[in-house]
Chain A
Amino acid sequence: MSSLRQVWLVAAREMRERSRSRAFRASVVVMILIVVGVIVAPSLLSSGSAPRNIGLAGSVPTDLASTIQVQSKASGMTVRVHSYSSIAAGEEATRRSRVDVLVVDARKLEWRGQTDEKLRGVVASAIQLVAVRARATSAGISEQDLLAIVAPVPIANTALGSVAGRSKDDETAAMIMMVLLFISITTYGNLVLTGVVEEKASRVVEVLLARIPARNLLAGKVAGIGLLGLAQIAVTALAALVATSSVDSFDVPAARGAVLAWVVVWFVLGYALYAMVYGALGSLASRTEDAQSVAGPVQFVLIAGYFVSFGAIGSPDSSWARVLSFFPATAPLTMPVRIAMGTAAWWEPAVALALTVLTIAGLVELGGRVYTRAVLHSGPTLKLRDVWRDHHAPERNVSPGRAASSGTARSPRRARRHSGSVATIARRSG
């Protein structure tokens, strides 16, 4: 049977068994909900969509209601204007939150709670306009001249982002993508780690390796879990794409299709890179409890990459961000940020991609070697150095618990032999 077929069988098992778990299914749904929620929520919550209620009471100029309507339309707000026969009735309506603000005698604003600055601006400018119009008429200025004088100057309102062509929204989008990449790479990398350790701990690995080479087992595991992760992130990216196109006010260059496609590519690369390391390190531990401590250094690198990439959102064209976006360990998080922020030249992702792929190829070789040598060793957690120096598979150590449960008494000679090999390892690592 070809190696490829074995790898595929292993990968298929990983996908089948893992996609059955409820935790996995829940995580897929939750991630989609979060991403779609982040995109859609602002447009649902924005003040422009929900109509605001304005109450008028006391002495009200005749054209105030219509002027408020005109002003609010100009600032993208929908308002309803209600007239009250007395101030007391108006205030009662305000207290019951039927209106957001009550305009008393066209010179006093009464709020139920906090002042809504945007609404205040609209109402205040309407009051000013009505007053100016009244004074102009009494000063003998014609309606036409007046309109020319008070014609509003359109004012654009932009939040300046850290780089040209990108706004605060782009930074938010880049951040969300980077966080999702980090979460996905960490989650799926850890699945490889625990998967390897579990196979060792349950001893099934010996049954498997009697049938297929260690390399094929590791490759299949990494591929299967990776394909599952790829499916999840692709579905999430697709949901993001659908959500952005369904919300018409949404225009964030950092979240366009091409950027989302890069995010998927960088997930594949980042996952492959870290999964190989996680898999190799996982083979050093024999118990699931030891898995996390063995993988500590990688977790640290990954978290460090996360924080620097966070910083890179604010200064994506700085020289350090540039360097880190090429460095294979941080590239999967930093380069997508620079792509999203539009500061990566066309060739830069290509070069970073090539460097990362080369690193992955190296890690497949190194990680495969570590895994092959260490995965059959049971007993205390191995040190990377021991695996490296020892060209022979280390001797199997029977842990005391196992020996007792197997029901056979170990001869003193056997015991000596075991302590001998443990001592050897200890000496080497010390």
Chain B
Amino acid sequence: MLEFDRATKQFARVAALDDCSFVAKSGRLTGFLGPNGAGKTTAMRAVFGLVELDAGAVRWNDAPIATAERARFGYMPEERGLYPRMRVRDQLLYLGRLCGRGRVDVNRSVNTWLEQLGLAERASDRLDALSHGNQQRVQLIAALINEPDLLVLDEPFSGLDPLAIASMAELLATVAQAGATVLFSSHQLDLVEDLCEDVVIIDHGRVVLAGELEALRAAVPDRFVDIHTRGPAPDWSSLSSARVVACHDGHTRLRVDRATDLGQVIGLARHTADLVSFAYQPPTLSELFRDAVAS
């Protein structure tokens, strides 16, 4: 379990982390969200001692983190980077051995991962001879090469094509299922919603929302009604308790509170048009995010 305990970091005149506390549990995927400049990268760097906190602490299994613990961590920085002129296999071997593992042991991991990500034939090529997508894969293996207990990834999905996103998501889920703690930042909220059990949203260095995604969604008093109608658009303004969030081509999304009489909503829709579909849902992660960051 990774724990941020009142972590605080001030840069020049900006508070990058401000009394920031949250946990990421083992065996689970935790989505780390926040607008640009919210402090996500600073927080992730703090795990690896790349940023020295002014106050507070980051703990791993209730103990402070030192070089020995970091040998069991994997990290993929936002600014990707490896040695461009070094061969793929040598590079991964080197990074694995820096974690303190033996040559034979690391070599086995390198082979397994290269095989799994379809790069076995490129093992003796220089990194800069690989395509962008393949370089990203090597970067991911670099983070996984020590079979980490904690995997921290800064924007792992940025710059990937849809297929690569799907395989990356699958891989992260597998790593978490195997027992590792996985914390990653992303702006792709739909993806995070599909993938993560837990989310942490920060803004201005402070945690504004954190916890199990389902529970967070359920706890919000508002609900959303998605209605698809055919024919003339119903006059939603006559509903006092509903607010139109989006409306186009007969698809309408209404924000209502829990006390709203759904029969009234359906009745209004059927009165003026043909009702095609109807759904009553808690807010999406995007809506949670916007509310949390706006407030």
Q: How far is the CA of A378 from the CA of B158 in the complex (A)?
A: 20
Interface size class of B (residues with CB under 8 A): 35 or more
In-complex Cβ contact of B50 among A13, A17, A209 (8 A)? A209
Confirm or deny: B142 has a beta carbon within 8 angstroms of a beta carbon on chain A: yes
In-complex Cβ contact of A204 among B13, B51, B81, B159 (8 A)? B81
Distance in Å from the Cβ of A207 to the closest Cβ of chain B?
6
Q: How far is the CA of A421 from the CA of B13 in the complex (A)?
A: 8
* A202, B50: Cβ atoms closer than 8 Å: no
Confirm or deny: A417 has a beta carbon within 8 angstroms of a beta carbon on chain B: yes
The chain A residue with its CB closest to the CB of B51 is A393
Task: Number of A interface residues at 8 Å Cβ cutoff, please give it.
Answer: 40
Confirm or deny: A9 has a beta carbon within 8 angstroms of a beta carbon on chain B: yes
* B36, A210: Cβ atoms closer than 8 Å: no
* A17, B35: Cβ atoms closer than 8 Å: no
Q: How far is the CA of A420 from the CA of B81 in the complex (A)?
A: 26
In-complex Cβ contact of B159 among A378, A394, A407, A410 (8 A)? A407
In-complex Cβ contact of A202 among B71, B75, B82 (8 A)? B82
Confirm or deny: A39 has a beta carbon within 8 angstroms of a beta carbon on chain B: no
Contacts of B98 in A (CB 8 A): 6, 9-10, 208, 211-212
Q: If A212-B98, A420-B12, A420-B14 touch, does A407 touch B158 (CB 8 Å cutoff)?
A: yes
* A211, B86: Cβ atoms closer than 8 Å: no
Distance in Å from the Cβ of A388 to the closest Cβ of chain B?
16
The chain A residue with its CB closest to the CB of B14 is A417
Q: How far is the CA of A206 from the CA of B143 in the complex (A)?
A: 12
Interface residues of B: mostly helix, strand, loop or mixed?
loop
* B70, A211: Cβ atoms closer than 8 Å: yes
Distance in Å from the Cβ of A319 to the closest Cβ of chain B?
49
Near A by CB (< 8 A), chain B positions 69-119 give 70-71, 73, 75, 77-86, 90, 94-95, 97-100
Q: How far is the CA of A312 from the CA of B68 in the complex (A)?
A: 52
Q: How far is the CA of A212 from the CA of B75 in the complex (A)?
A: 12
In-complex Cβ contact of A207 among B37, B84, B142 (8 A)? B142
Distance in Å from the Cβ of A218 to the closest Cβ of chain B?
14
Distance in Å from the Cβ of B81 to the closest Cβ of chain A?
3
In-complex Cβ contact of B37 among A203, A208, A394, A413 (8 A)? A413
* B70, A210: Cβ atoms closer than 8 Å: yes
Q: How far is the CA of A283 from the CA of B221 in the complex (A)?
A: 52
Confirm or deny: A147 has a beta carbon within 8 angstroms of a beta carbon on chain B: no
Contacts of B134 in A (CB 8 A): none
The chain B residue with its CB closest to the CB of A424 is B12
* B12, A207: Cβ atoms closer than 8 Å: no
Q: How far is the CA of A16 from the CA of B80 in the complex (A)?
A: 24
* A211, B71: Cβ atoms closer than 8 Å: yes
The chain B residue with its CB closest to the CB of A5 is B100
Distance in Å from the Cβ of B8 to the closest Cβ of chain A?
12
A69-107 to B contact mask, C-beta < 8 Å, 1/0? 000000000000000000000000000000000000000
Q: How far is the CA of A5 from the CA of B49 in the complex (A)?
A: 20
* A411, B37: Cβ atoms closer than 8 Å: yes
Confirm or deny: B131 has a beta carbon within 8 angstroms of a beta carbon on chain A: no
* A414, B37: Cβ atoms closer than 8 Å: yes
A409-430 to B contact mask, C-beta < 8 Å, 1/0? 0110110010011001000000
The chain A residue with its CB closest to the CB of B75 is A210
In-complex Cβ contact of A206 among B50, B67, B70, B71 (8 A)? B50
* A202, B158: Cβ atoms closer than 8 Å: no
* A206, B81: Cβ atoms closer than 8 Å: yes
Confirm or deny: A402 has a beta carbon within 8 angstroms of a beta carbon on chain B: yes
* B158, A408: Cβ atoms closer than 8 Å: yes
* B94, A9: Cβ atoms closer than 8 Å: yes
* B14, A203: Cβ atoms closer than 8 Å: no
Q: How far is the CA of A411 from the CA of B293 in the complex (A)?
A: 13
Near A by CB (< 8 A), chain B positions 22-54 give 35-37, 41, 45, 48-52, 54
B184-196 to A contact mask, C-beta < 8 Å, 1/0? 0001000000000
The chain A residue with its CB closest to the CB of B16 is A395
Q: If A209-B48, A411-B35 touch, does A203 touch B81 (CB 8 Å cutoff)?
A: yes
The chain A residue with its CB closest to the CB of B48 is A210
Near B by CB (< 8 A), chain A positions 250-299 give none
Contacts of A392 in B (CB 8 A): 9-11, 52, 54
Near B by CB (< 8 A), chain A positions 364-411 give 376, 378, 392-396, 402, 406-408, 410-411
Contacts of A23 in B (CB 8 A): none
Among B16, B48, B68, B81, which residue has the most Cβ atoms of chain A within 10 A?
B81
* A410, B36: Cβ atoms closer than 8 Å: yes
Contacts of A207 in B (CB 8 A): 75, 77, 81-82, 95, 142
Q: If A9-B97, A411-B36 touch, does A203 touch B77 (CB 8 Å cutoff)?
A: yes
Q: How far is the CA of A413 from the CA of B35 in the complex (A)?
A: 10
The chain B residue with its CB closest to the CB of A3 is B67
In-complex Cβ contact of A205 among B80, B81, B90 (8 A)? B81
Q: How far is the CA of A199 from the CA of B85 in the complex (A)?
A: 11
Distance in Å from the Cβ of B43 to the closest Cβ of chain A?
13
In-complex Cβ contact of A408 among B41, B85, B187 (8 A)? B187
Question: Sorted from nearest, which 4 A-B pairs have the closest CB atoms?
Answer: A203-B81, A1-B100, A414-B37, A210-B48
A-B contact pairs, 21 of them (CB 8 A): A1-B68, A1-B71, A5-B100, A202-B83, A202-B84, A203-B80, A204-B81, A206-B79, A207-B95, A210-B50, A211-B95, A212-B98, A213-B49, A392-B10, A392-B11, A394-B11, A396-B41, A406-B158, A414-B37, A420-B12, A420-B13
Starting from the known contacts A202-B81, A210-B48, A395-B14, 16 additional A-B residue pairs (CB-CB under 8 Å) come to A1-B68, A1-B71, A1-B99, A9-B98, A199-B83, A207-B75, A207-B77, A207-B142, A209-B50, A210-B73, A376-B50, A392-B54, A393-B52, A395-B11, A408-B155, A413-B36
